[in-house]
Amino acid sequence: MSATCPNTRPCAHVGATVLANELLAERTWRLRLSCPEVAAMAQPGQFFMVRLPGRTDPLLGRPFALYDTVLDGAGKLIGLEIVHLVVGRVTGLLSGLNPGDQVEIWGPLGTRFPEVPERVKRVTLVAGGIGQTPFLAYTRELTGHRGFGGAAPRRVADRVELVYGARRQELLAGLDAFVEAGAQVLPCTEDGSIGLKGRVTDGLDSGEKPEWIVACGPEPMLHAVARWARERDVPCQVSLETPMACGLGICFSCVVKVASSEQASGWDYQRVCVEGPTFDAASLVDLSK
């Protein structure tokens, strides 16, 4: 069923058939869904609400970022992929799905990643934990490998770097896919089991100064990356992983404080599911301190 989502963005609520369900890393699964109508509208940075049909426990859907779109052998768009870490009841149930099973999906929701300024030739993506999930489609778009939302492929950046951190090697998911998509990948592990021993900010320190940063991951990591970027005067966008209930802006359970000159307090609330999930790090009150 097609609909219009908040801010007049097109979306759909459909039943989707599971095409594949693959373990990518420790407790990390890639779910491939047949839903061409939804996939045709999706753009990097947007997300979907997914739930298991015919169940009241759990009742609510959960948000998952667009990981990638799926093409058949003839290059026809047939579906999309989401990647998730098993941390609770819903993700545990999703990890047990088999080809042919059904899920409900509605979206795409939220805003896409912002347009990269023309002067920027090198885009640095920073991911922590499961925060790499919005970045594979974005990498394909930036490198011109694939177009999204009906747009033709167009190379946007001369170089795309992925600085991807986790506690240990077994938790890093999809490294080969990012390399295939054209990214230069720097893994960072706290135990030094692969790549650079340290955190993503150590990875940022190890190379050239970034021109444009987009980050996604746990909130403490986002604070650290935003602070690193602010101290070096590097533009930084952050994609938030804020829990949400409806995904449509109705329940106001996912609000964040955003700087506003129109309010006496100097800030106002915005909904991650509608105005986000990506924000300029400098505009977020809790990240700009």
Q: Are 213 and 122 in contact (CB under 8 A)?
A: no
Residue-wise pLDDT for 162-200, tens only, equals 999 999 999 999 999 999 999 999 999 999 999 999 999
* Phi, psi for 40 (deg, rounded to 5): -65, -25
Supply the pLDDT for residue 5: 59
Supply the pLDDT for residue 59: 83
Residue-wise pLDDT for 103-147, tens only, equals 999 999 999 999 999 999 999 999 999 999 999 999 999 999 999
Supply the pLDDT for residue 98: 97
Supply the pLDDT for residue 261: 84
Cα separation values, 287 from 92, 157, 223, 235, Å: 31, 27, 6, 13
Supply the pLDDT for residue 4: 52
In the predicted structure, residue 201 carries a pLDDT above the cut 90 = yes
- Write the CATH number of the domain with boundaries 2-109: 2.40.30.10
User: Position 47: which residue type?
Assistant: F
Q: How far apart are alpha carbons 196 and 129 in whole angstroms?
A: 15
Residue-wise pLDDT for 3-26, tens only, equals 555 555 788 999 999 999 999 999
Of residues 80 and 264, the one with the higher pLDDT is 80
Supply the pLDDT for residue 8: 56
Closest CA to 86 of 45, 54, 129, 55: 129
Q: How far apart are alpha carbons 284 and 260 in whole angstroms?
A: 10
Quote the strand ranges of 198-266, DSSP E.
213-216, 236-239, 255-259
Tell me what the pLDDT averaged over the chain comes to: 93
Domain ranges of the chain: 2-109, 122-241
Confidence of residue 289 (pLDDT cuts 50, 70, 90): low
Supply the pLDDT for residue 239: 97
Does the pTM of the predicted model rise above 0.85? Answer: yes
Sequence-ordered list of residues with C-beta below 8 angstroms from that of 116, at least 6 positions apart, any chain: 123, 142, 156, 157, 212
Give the mean pLDDT of 70-86.
Answer: 96
> Percent of the chain, pLDDT > 70?
97
Supply the pLDDT for residue 146: 95
Of the candidate CATH numbers 3.30.300.30, 3.40.50.80, 3.30.70.1560, 3.40.50.720, the domain formed by 122-241 belongs to: 3.40.50.80
Q: Are 116 and 56 in contact (CB under 8 A)?
A: no
